[in-house]
Amino acid sequence: MQALSVQQPWAFAIARGGKTVSNQNLPTAYRGPLLVHASMRVDLKACDSPLVQAAGWDPRDPLATIGAIIAVAELDGVCSAAARDGSCDCGPWADAGAHHWHLGGVRALPRPIVALGRSPGLWEPKPALVTEISTMFAATAALDHSSS
């Protein structure tokens, strides 16, 4: 499993708002599970973006926190067409000139887990962090199942 640090409010938009593209400077060969880490930096201009607003941006939401893992996703693929020639069809979240990392199966954590991240690019989370996240999802699933 790998992790990716993303500035707020973009991390929130991935966790809550259906942002399925992460714009990156470099491509990656990695495919598979990915922890979404809200970095310690906030892109203040982006908070007013129509896309971010449409994603439900709310700085009071627990997933709007910084310095924490807030979601798990699958890194399904990377489109580098926009980085090469400026053209692709990766949707409204895709920036021209960037590599578009396509995220699927996004699941927001029931609560953020404080963690130190690294930027730029992928980083390997500590096994204890991965175990804590797996336990959290298992406990949530058990509660959901018992209330059915």
Model confidence pLDDT, tens digit, residues 108-117: 999 999 999 9
Q: If you average pLDDT over residues 117-143, what whole number do you get? A: 88
Q: How sure is the predictor about 121, in pLDDT bands with cuts at 50, 70 and 90? A: confident
- pLDDT confidence band for 143 (50 / 70 / 90): low
Distances (CA, A) of 6 to 9, 37, 84, 139: 9, 6, 23, 26
Q: Residue 146 pLDDT > 70, yes or no?
A: no
pLDDT, tens digit, for every residue of 81-113? 877 777 899 999 999 889 999 999 999 999 999
What global pTM score does this model have? 0.91
| Pure H helices in 3-87 | 10-16, 50-54, 81-85
Instruction: Say which residue, 118 or 2, is predicted with more confidence.
Output: 2
